[in-house]
Amino acid sequence: MADQKTASVSADQGATFATIRNLWAYMWPDNRPDLRLRVILAIAALVLAKGASTVVPFAYKGIVDTLDGAGQDPAMLWGVAVPILFVIAYGMGQMVDSGFQQLRDILFSSVGQHAVRQLAYKTFEHIHKLSLRFHLARRTGGLSRVIERGIKGIETIVRFTMLNTAPTLIEFVIVGIVFGVMFGIAYVLVLAATVVLYVVFTVRASNWRIAIRRDMNESDTDANSKAIDSLLNFETVKYFGNEAMEARRYDAAMANYERSATRIWTSLGFLNFGQGVIFWAGMIVISIMAASGVMAGDLTVGDFVLINAFMMQIYRPLNFIGFIYREIRQGLADIEAMFLLLDQNPEIEDKPGAPQLAISGPELRFEDVRFHYDPDRSILKGVSFTVPPGRTIAVVGPSGAGKSTISRLIYRFYDAVEGRVTIDGQDVRDVTQASLRAAIGMVPQDTVLFNDTIAYNIRYGRPDATDDEVHEAARMAQISEFIETLPRGYETQVGERGLKLSGGEKQRVAIARTILKAPPILILDEATSALDTHTEREIQSALDTVSKGRTTLVIAHRLSTVVNADEIIVLREGRVAERGTHGELLAIDGLYAQMWNRQREAAEATERLRAAQEDPDGFLSREPAGAPAE
């Protein structure tokens, strides 16, 4: 099983800066100098915005002081002009600040979205690299929710760390310097105490809320998983009349989400109230100090206004620091599950420098292959056989004998524990997975189609195929006549998992897809076992066409589909019990013969039952009236 590691991104305390450091590579991409330039320009716009915002409180102070003094000599031109100039400076400062902030956001938008896109792509690509074992255990709805939340969390972190954290730190430094130079160290100490208390409270409260956020995310994932699973199995729900039960399961999951979401909003109210108390307590202390200075004649009314303007100006970023930290921590909680996926190693990987598979036959060979999913239960116990070039070999046996495991080892979804699987003498573990799978075509028992058109699903075998090649593949798969009867022909939508088509129609689409791929090796994994006898015979004809001249391995449950195989391998409990042609195996009168006789008797019984249902009164089997007695 793939190693499970600790996530490189965690919502736990102390991981915030490590996470930002991990994400920085996406905000400062090596191969995109245009985006790097945008980052530099965005930082420049940020600094200019902060410079403009610093002018605003001084302009406000100038307005108050000049208006207060202008009343003594209103006839003087200078006394009228100066307040107007301060008012203009105040308004221009606000406009410049706002303009550069918007420019900063515009410049950085493509940087942030590029980072989100790259991480989303990397996650999606990585999930496809993970082993079959992982995907068999996954919950599709939950997995999609993890990715969705992770992408939003990344966007939050990238945007807030770059666009808001740096401006806030610059704002604190500027205000601290102004207070220290103009009003003395006492003001700086009160400001610092206010900021420190505010930040400490915010951090601790946000850390407490992370556990609640995790619970909410888990409840959300569980509810979404149940909803998707229920909708994907819509027909099964209807068969058993369990709509009410499914609704109750979903509601129970949503009830957990409701409790967690309520706790999130309650804790947010507590956090916001605590932040407000700390800031306004500091504001009251500094305002009392400033008012005392005005009454003592040490400060002007304009100084009082300046101090309050700076405090109000600092309140916005200070309040934003709380919001930023809260959003970043919640973003971390949202993306940690996504990064756990990225940290999970694929079980099957190419060896360094692995070559492409070279096809000359091809000859497929199993050499004393042993395999288990769980060490306590062996599946294959020394299986050996050869599929010569251009020949058809069948593998049959009771359920649990290890038939389907054989196809998974050929595709290298798993690696053999002992022994080798080779193609033209090359161990499949030594060549690239892409070249290996390009050489193999599969027609599985359960054909799942994409929710797209018939043409798209056939062309999936070779995406660059022309329309004529798609139509020819459909003709060879004996489905072209059916497609042409449809109102939209090849552009007909097949529905989710191909549910708008019958089992036989889906199987023919899968055959056409494989014909279009034109692989030298063909695997038919119980390709007709889910079909009725009549449809099976029609499909078998198409399979005979596609397998002609190819190295073909047939994994079958219905023995009637393998009677013409060049050799039949009979598995029992993970070992080769018998091998030979259909006639040779019947002559042995062993396991294969027993299976053949049971299936033949079952088929005959089914045929008699069908005949009885079509002619319940036996009318078709009666002698004609007046027929001579024997």
Q: CA distances (Å), 553 to each of 416, 429, 509, 562, in order?
A: 18, 19, 20, 10
pLDDT at 628 over 60: no
Regarding whether 466 and 418 lie in a shared domain, the answer is: no
Strands 440-443 and 521-525: parallel
Q: Which amino acid is at 555?
A: I
Q: Is 351 helix (H, G, I), strand (E, B) or coil?
A: coil
| 105 closest CA partner among 167, 196, 22 | 167
Q: How confident is the model at residue 593 (pLDDT cuts 50, 70, 90)?
A: very high
pLDDT at 242 over 50: yes
Regarding whether 567 and 593 lie in a shared domain, the answer is: yes
Regarding whether 511 and 530 lie in a shared domain, the answer is: no
Q: How confident is the model at residue 64 (pLDDT cuts 50, 70, 90)?
A: confident
Regarding whether 273 and 286 lie in a shared domain, the answer is: yes
Report if residue 99 sits inside a domain. Answer: yes
Range in 9-18, 239-248, 524-533 with the lowest mean pLDDT:
9-18
pTM above 0.75?
no
* 514: containing domain: 447-518
Range in 336-350, 488-502, 589-603 with the lowest mean pLDDT:
336-350
Report if residue 349 sits inside a domain. Answer: no
Q: How confident is the model at residue 370 (pLDDT cuts 50, 70, 90)?
A: very high
State the DSSP string of 26-63. Answer: HHS-TT-HHHHHHHHHHHHHHHHHHHHHHHHHHHHHHH
Q: How many helices (H) and strands (E) does the chain have?
A: 19, 10
Residues 432, 13: Cα–Cα separation, whole Å: 42
Residues 553, 138: Cα–Cα separation, whole Å: 29
Report if residue 44 sits inside a domain. Answer: yes
Regarding whether 128 and 112 lie in a shared domain, the answer is: yes
Report if residue 574 sits inside a domain. Answer: yes
Taking the CA atoms of residue 252, residue 256, residue 259 and residue 260 in that order, the dihedral angle to the nearest 10 degrees is -160
State the DSSP string of 368-386. Answer: EEEEEEETTEEEEEEEEEE
pLDDT per position as a tens digit, 148-175:
777 777 777 766 666 666 667 777 787 7
Residues 372, 86: Cα–Cα separation, whole Å: 82
Domain count, the chain: 3
CATH number of the domain that residue 52 is part of: 1.20.1560.10
Regarding whether 399 and 261 lie in a shared domain, the answer is: no
State the DSSP string of 112-165. Answer: HHHHHHHHHHHHHHHHHHS-HHHHHH--HHHHHHHHHHHHHHHHHHHHHIIIII
Regarding whether 207 and 150 lie in a shared domain, the answer is: yes
Q: How confident is the model at residue 424 (pLDDT cuts 50, 70, 90)?
A: very high
CATH number of the domain that residue 485 is part of: 3.40.50.300
| Token pair listed for 98 | 């706002």
Phi, psi values for residue 532, rounded to 5°: -70, 170
Regarding whether 193 and 53 lie in a shared domain, the answer is: yes
Final residue before a domain boundary, out of 518, 535, 559: 518
Residues 259, 217: Cα–Cα separation, whole Å: 12
Contact 145, 219 (CB under 8 A): no
Regarding whether 474 and 552 lie in a shared domain, the answer is: no
Residue 355 has a pLDDT of 93
Final residue before a domain boundary, out of 297, 317, 343: 343
Q: Which amino acid is at 199?
A: V
| 326 closest CA partner among 268, 277, 273 | 268
pLDDT per position as a tens digit, 489-513:
899 888 776 778 887 788 888 888 8
pLDDT per position as a tens digit, 528-582:
655 566 666 766 777 777 777 889 999 888 888 888 889 999 998 889 999 999 9
Regarding whether 323 and 412 lie in a shared domain, the answer is: no
DSSP-derived secondary structure letter, 565: -
Report if residue 627 sits inside a domain. Answer: no
Final residue before a domain boundary, out of 503, 518, 533: 518
Report if residue 6 sits inside a domain. Answer: no
Regarding whether 294 and 201 lie in a shared domain, the answer is: yes
Report if residue 348 sits inside a domain. Answer: no
Question: Cα 526 from chain centroid?
Answer: 30
Report if residue 3 sits inside a domain. Answer: no
Regarding whether 230 and 158 lie in a shared domain, the answer is: yes
Taking the CA atoms of residue 315, residue 318, residue 319 and residue 321 in that order, the dihedral angle to the nearest 10 degrees is 160
pLDDT per position as a tens digit, 248-273:
888 888 888 888 888 888 888 888 88
Contact 335, 153 (CB under 8 A): yes
